[in-house]
Structure 1
């Protein structure tokens, strides 16, 4: 089975395997070593290593660190992606509170499978508008080439006098502005929380240890801060715990339900942002790319036609 392409899905796959290996009762170092050995033989790992020898799957690097006696949480704290840092945060919290690691890892994997599906949907939704934005950037150059195909000296017009240089500079500046504008719009549409609901999931993990709720909330807040993860939604944990205590039920299920709701809301908002991108990209098209097309593709042809007519 190949490792998933999207980071959240990749973490989910690794965490599920790790939870299964830990269920055998062996130490984490042995589980990581077996996982790393398995990853070495995966079809997707071999081409990746051929492309760049320095690119080593995260689970292999982590396995090496654990084999050398390094704490997994400390190693994962240095990673750039929030999904891997979330695994480190969970690991650290289970060590500090005594929560069951195997069950906690399975819950984490379920949450990150949802996030991975969201990443995939957002990438698909953004692919069309982003490809359109790149495609329309070549329209002015198509206009230049079309003029040459029709027999007009558009290059001579653009490079043969002050008027041509002004048109060329104007068109290129407009294209540069459109490129920057498109990048801003795509980046803004791609911006979304990477670990929504994870704080509540982490509190649910801590509560499974049987510790006092106040201590669990404090440890969770410290852990999220240590791993530079979002603490949004954590303020809702205390009312949920109080509700569970009043009803005489375990708080874990309520907390995980709220975490799932937060992930669904983030997923919907990200999908809406991706859907709005198609409309937003019309602004640089109309304000920059079409004027650039006129400056680079249409005006030189008209000037060349006039020059040809006057020469006759």
Structure 2
């Protein structure tokens, strides 16, 4: 029996890590002089399943960025950076190297959060077995709890109430764990896309528009990006490296926020434990046992 529902989204850390490796290999191939589609064909020839699917879509007439984006997950970010770089004429190999580092950082941050979540989530799964175990314990000890929970109205009510509490605890706990999971996005990707556009020599306003129009960069103006651009103007320094540093800081902030969520999860899981799991244990484990003892004890004669 599965206690907690797993998120339907793919493993964000694994997706970003695989994308980082592939993107780094593509950067090397492009640096060596391979054309973009030819670089993907080289990867496909090595047995890379994603590269094979991308090439299959390209051979079917789909544009390369669209073929990459169809893979979903971190590949949407790769497609957005690829399309912007091609649009503004930025050096694609350099763009992909920088993007590979960003994706690797995002994967490491997601892994850190999942590791921090493993202990409280595992404890929650274990505690949710406690009420059914209490019911089985009565059988193992030789008490006639089966008769109590199938024939006596109060026993039936205890079982129904206990099972409802167990179901509520499962749903409640699963929601708490899902809320603490990484959302699957790549932190700092919009900042990275603005840096990609600026590396092609376009104006700041056009770079911001290109980032907003991409599948991964939407979401309106960012106060962080505006602050970095203002610093660049005031100091008279190129904004690209400042933006990439800010993107790295966003990923670090996401890592810290994820760890804090995992730390808070341990205390939040005590709420369904106290409200649902412990009462369910009393209803399913203790109450039938007491009722069985009372039913088997003869009443004293007056």
Structures share a fold, TM > 0.5?
yes
1:244 aligns to 2:232 (yes or no): yes
1:296 aligns to 2:284 (yes or no): yes
Instruction: Give 1:1-312 correspondences, 5 Å limit.
Output: 6-40=14-48, 57-81=49-73, 83-192=74-183, 194-223=185-214, 227=215, 229-231=217-219, 234-310=222-298
SS of the residue corresponding to residue 297 of structure 2 reads helix
Greater displacement, 100-109 / 118-127: 118-127
Question: Is the Cα contact below 8 Å between 1:192 and 1:270 reproduced in 2?
Answer: no
Structure with more contact order per residue of length (Cα contacts < 8 Å, sep ≥ 6): 2
**Post-superposition offset of 1:13:** 0.9
**Post-superposition offset of 1:98:** 0.9
Question: Is the Cα contact below 8 Å between 1:97 and 1:216 reproduced in 2?
Answer: no
SS of the residue corresponding to residue 159 of structure 2 reads helix
After TM superposition, the score normalised by the length of structure 1 is: 0.86
Query: C-alpha separation between the residues in 2 aligned to 1:232 and 1:270?
Result: 23
After TM superposition, the score normalised by the length of structure 2 is: 0.89
Structure 1: stretches of 5+ with no match in the other structure: 41-56
Query: C-alpha separation between the residues in 1 aligned to 2:46 and 2:71?
Result: 22
**Post-superposition offset of 1:71:** 1.3
Query: C-alpha separation between the residues in 1 aligned to 2:228 and 2:118?
Result: 39
Query: C-alpha separation between the residues in 2 aligned to 1:232 and 1:128?
Result: 37
Question: Is the Cα contact below 8 Å between 1:122 and 1:270 reproduced in 2?
Answer: yes
Query: C-alpha separation between the residues in 1 aligned to 2:123 and 2:226?
Result: 46
Cα 1:230–1:6, aligned 2, differ >3 Å: closer, same or farther? farther
Residue in 2 that maps onto 1:48:
none
Query: C-alpha separation between the residues in 1 aligned to 2:235 and 2:206?
Result: 21
Query: C-alpha separation between the residues in 2 aligned to 1:65 and 1:169?
Result: 54
**Post-superposition offset of 1:255:** 0.6
Alignment: residue pair count: 289
Q: Stretches of 4+ moved more than 3 A in 1? A: 76-80, 228-236
Q: Deviations over 1:287-307 (max 9, x none)?
A: 001100000100101111111
Query: C-alpha separation between the residues in 2 aligned to 1:241 and 1:171?
Result: 59
Cα 1:112–1:264, aligned 2, differ >3 Å: closer, same or farther? same
Query: C-alpha separation between the residues in 2 aligned to 1:140 and 1:239?
Result: 54
